[in-house]
Amino acid sequence: MPAHVPTLQLIGVAVLAVAAAAWAVVLWRLLRRTGLRAPARRRAAPLPALPRQRRIGPPQESVELTPAEQDAFAGLVRQLANG
């Protein structure tokens, strides 16, 4: 027993160690009792109140720029790149 450690503190450490060991044993027994098996996944049925969702997204949109718009966009990109 170290001389600089009070007796009450040593008793506290011993009580905490015993409590931790008891907790570990109880937890191990509970986990063993439940079987540690992952639950089987089943497909969730769709909710009747929600509309059906589409599997694909909307078609991609694109817009042709005029040469003036292309130049303006290139100037904006240069401004943002230079900070």
User: pLDDT tens digits, residue range 9-66?
Assistant: 989 999 999 999 999 999 999 888 877 666 666 777 777 787 777 777 777 888 899 9
Q: CA-based angle 80:82:83, to the nearest 5?
A: 65
The C-alpha atoms of residue 45 and residue 15 are separated, in whole angstroms, by 51
What integer pLDDT is reported at residue 40 of this predicted model? 66
Q: How far is CA 13 from CA 8, 24, 25, in A?
A: 9, 16, 18
Phi and psi, residue 55, nearest 5°: -80, -30
* Residue that is written with structure tokens 């694909």 in the block: 56
pLDDT: which is higher, 1 or 52:
52
CB of 25 within 8 A of CB of 17?
Answer: no
pLDDT: which is higher, 4 or 8:
8
Q: What is the pTM of this model?
A: 0.39
